[in-house]
Amino acid sequence: MKTQDRYLMFVRWSEEDRGYVGYCPDLFPAGGVCHGATPVEAYAKLCEIVEDTVATAEQNGISLPPPATRPMRELEAVG
């Protein structure tokens, strides 16, 4: 598994931006880092940004934050 694949990445619609916004909370906690007219376009840009960030950090000996964010799951009620 590549280092960048360990980080949660997702895209969601933004009414404010009137487009899709890409997020990777562990690497970019301040918010969205790219936009796209479609979710596929935004996700492709996001993957490029995350890959470049990881490669640059590794080349320069910069430690990355540990991947900690996980998607939420609905829990089924027991009983």
In the chain, where the domains are located: 3-59
Structure pTM?
0.85
Instruction: Enumerate residues 6+ apart whose C-beta is below 8 A from 55.
Output: none
Helical spans, DSSP H, in the chain: 39-59
Q: Could you tell me the CA-to-CA distances from 6 to 1, 11, 44, 67, 78 in Å, in that order?
A: 8, 16, 16, 6, 31
Q: Provide the residue-wise pLDDT of the chain in tens; the chain has 79 residues.
A: 899 999 999 999 999 999 999 999 999 999 999 999 999 999 999 999 999 999 999 999 999 999 998 776 655 555 5
pLDDT for residue 70: 79
